[in-house]
Chain A
Amino acid sequence: MNEALFIYSEEQLTYKFNDDHPFNHVRLNLTHDLLRDMGALKDNHIIPPRMATDEEIALIHDTSYIEAVKAAGEGKLSAGVANNYGLGTEDTPIFPHMHEASALLVGGTLTAVDKVMTGESQHALNLGGGLHHGFRGKASGFCIYNDSSIAIEYMRKKYGARVLYVDTDAHHGDGVQWAFYEDHDVCTFSIHETGRYLFPGTGAVSEKGAGQGFGYSINIPLDAFTEDESFIHCYETALRELIEFFKPDVLFTQNGADAHYHDPLTHLSTTIKTYHYIPKVAHELAHEYCDGKWIAVGGGGYDIWRVVPRAWAIIWLEMTNQKDLIEEELPESWLKKWQPKSPVTIPPKWSDPENMYPPIPRKQEITEKNEKMLEKALYHIRNEKK
């Protein structure tokens, strides 16, 4: 059995809205290169993604929506109809062959799922996936098809698995949450910047699921300017208690890398330190509770030069127990290749500099507020344990 597989091909970069769009899958290329240059990723680790079939996409999405995406990609969808499906907006503009590009991202996540669920590999990573805002019949927040929702439903149908979904993207994982809101075989956990101002606005601690699914949606909204210590504490405490409570068959993590201080779209203040902890805890718990079954996908992350390559490379290094390959400096060959293309100076080190940002005056208040959110989020789990 393989320890881990890396789902990747250059074709994943065809999911591209336009040159000015903040969602840019060059990130995949940057991360792949970084891992190659440090000798952590070999040919036999890499599996190209397959295409998802229409039937698979229809596990979550309406057939009329899939038809609309196809038509849009061929330039055959009128602006009025497109608008009803959230297509052709500034967030999710129409681009040629958008159905094929989106179906490939979904297929990548399904490839990862199959490799893990059939026992071919313990873990699998598809950084091209993690498009957690996609809705049943509507594109939203840069996401067309929701690969994560599809993969979870696929695992339930094909393998009868109970799935714990963990979403550390700075934006609330709304698409996945609503898809399984009334389901008690899928538990969704999202930790994110509060939706008071930030897109999509949902993800309040009071959103706990409905009907049979009550108690199986967990949300921890963090205050703006939350730093490493508080983020890590909330994440780790919640995940440990949650996994013990839910006892899933498989762990599925969405690894948006946009909670970093440098991220241009959000207002959290974590550093690369948080991105060491997120996969570390997931890895440990996957072995403890899920017989190692762990599927990880990408997600948001809009500082594609200074943050995402390091944050995502660490997931792979953690999965394959190769973190000892991390030296102080990033590989010179990688910096040489990519620095000329970057509009900002890429930090040459794996760790972020001390004093990267000025001290945050309300730190104490923010920490206490987050702690209260954590308590509220876990209230019913802790009650049940008593």
Chain B
Amino acid sequence: MLVEEAMKTDVITVNKETTIQEAIELLEKHKIRHIPVVEQDHTLIGIVSDRDIRDARPSIFHKHLDDDQFLQEPVSKIMKSPVHTAHPFDFIDEAAVILYEKDIGSLPVVTDDDKLEGILTETDVLHTLIKLTGAHQPSSRIEVVVPNISGQLANIANILKEHDVNVTSVLVYPTKDTKNKTLTFRVQTMDPRQIISEIKKKGYEVSWPALPRWSYDE
């Protein structure tokens, strides 16, 4: 999945002359934490976060200073520059790695000439995770433990194909020992009994769900 598929395009921006006061109002009004600072032609020059503003604020223990004076300063005085950015055609997983490694909350998305196209926040990445796991679509979940050798996913997928069941998502992750892997499927059916018993018949361990405790065949 590409960044441009997950990013927000209606970005709230400011220019470098905008006052800190106005920036605070925008953050509160739109319930956001980051505002890109742009030139008139949308070239990205910096970013202001709620944290930058907090750092600029006088301490509540310094009551008698001219507290509010700083609010009239331009945002260019506190903005961070240069900015960590992503490209619309980056993979979302690459962007997630930058967010994680740099410990930041959002990435402005810019084209090759630094023109702002959108913004990708932690929330957007989390929403993408929900989509990738298929947790938002009606489905049943099946977990299968398979040996850590090639062809296992195909074997299970074949069973699903034979039952004409659509797969919403597949996750593959290692178990604690490296001998096995866990395959997690979300499948679009309310009745996974046949599939589970087929998988078991092929010698795989279905870690959950358990088959019902009885069946009509007993």
A→B interface (CB under 8 Å): 22, 83, 86, 89-91, 133, 140-142, 171, 174, 196-202, 261-265, 267, 343-344, 357
- Write the nearest CB–CB distance from B209 to chain A, whole angstroms: 4
**Given known contacts A91-B191, A142-B190, A200 and B139 CB-to-CB distance under 8 angstroms:** yes
- Taking a contact as CB atoms closer than 8 A, the residue among A140, A267, A357 that contacts B138 in the complex is A140
- Write the nearest CB–CB distance from A347 to chain B, whole angstroms: 13
In the complex, what distance in Å separates the CA atom of A200 from the CA atom of B168? 12
Which secondary structure dominates chain A's binding surface? loop
In the complex, residue of chain B having the shortest beta-carbon distance to the beta carbon of A174 = B138
Chain B residues near A264 (CB, 8 Å)? 193, 212, 214-216
In the complex, what distance in Å separates the CA atom of A343 from the CA atom of B217? 8
Would you call B189 and A197 a contact (CB within 8 A)?
no
* Residues 107 to 148 of chain B near chain A (Cβ within 8 Å): 135-143
Would you call A89 and B138 a contact (CB within 8 A)?
no
Chain B residues near A265 (CB, 8 Å)? 190-191, 193, 212
**Given known contacts A90-B189, A198-B209, A344 and B216 CB-to-CB distance under 8 angstroms:** yes
Chain A residues near B186 (CB, 8 Å)? 201
In the complex, what distance in Å separates the CA atom of A246 from the CA atom of B212? 38
Closest 7 CB pairs of A and B: A200-B138, A199-B190, A141-B190, A199-B140, A197-B209, A264-B212, A197-B141
- Taking a contact as CB atoms closer than 8 A, the residue among A22, A197, A201, A343 that contacts B191 in the complex is A22
**Given known contacts A197-B142, A199-B140, A201-B139, A90 and B163 CB-to-CB distance under 8 angstroms:** yes
Chain A residues near B190 (CB, 8 Å)? 91, 133, 141-142, 171, 199-200, 265
In the complex, what distance in Å separates the CA atom of A263 from the CA atom of B137? 24
In the complex, what distance in Å separates the CA atom of A238 from the CA atom of B137? 27
In the complex, residue of chain A having the shortest beta-carbon distance to the beta carbon of B140 = A199
In the complex, what distance in Å separates the CA atom of A202 from the CA atom of B140? 10
**Given known contacts A89-B166, A171-B190, A265-B190, A198 and B140 CB-to-CB distance under 8 angstroms:** yes
CB of B177 within 8 A of chain A? no
CB of B70 within 8 A of chain A? no
- Write the nearest CB–CB distance from A80 to chain B, whole angstroms: 13
CB of B188 within 8 A of chain A? yes
- Write the nearest CB–CB distance from B107 to chain A, whole angstroms: 27
- Taking a contact as CB atoms closer than 8 A, the residue among B136, B141, B188, B215 that contacts A196 in the complex is B141
Would you call B165 and A199 a contact (CB within 8 A)?
no
- Taking a contact as CB atoms closer than 8 A, the residue among B138, B140, B143, B212 that contacts A133 in the complex is B138
22 A-B pairs, CB-CB below 8 angstroms?
Answer: A86-B188, A89-B188, A90-B191, A91-B188, A91-B189, A141-B138, A141-B190, A197-B141, A197-B142, A199-B189, A200-B138, A200-B190, A201-B139, A201-B140, A202-B138, A261-B213, A265-B190, A267-B209, A267-B210, A267-B212, A343-B216, A357-B213
CB of B208 within 8 A of chain A? yes
- Write the nearest CB–CB distance from A127 to chain B, whole angstroms: 19
In the complex, residue of chain A having the shortest beta-carbon distance to the beta carbon of B164 = A90
In the complex, what distance in Å separates the CA atom of A199 from the CA atom of B209? 11
Would you call A197 and B140 a contact (CB within 8 A)?
yes
Chain B residues near A174 (CB, 8 Å)? 138
Chain B residues near A344 (CB, 8 Å)? 216
In the complex, what distance in Å separates the CA atom of A91 from the CA atom of B216? 19
Contact with A along B33-44 (1 / 0, CB 8 A): 000000000000
- Write the nearest CB–CB distance from B29 to chain A, whole angstroms: 18
- Write the nearest CB–CB distance from A382 to chain B, whole angstroms: 27
- Write the nearest CB–CB distance from B175 to chain A, whole angstroms: 18
- Write the nearest CB–CB distance from B99 to chain A, whole angstroms: 24
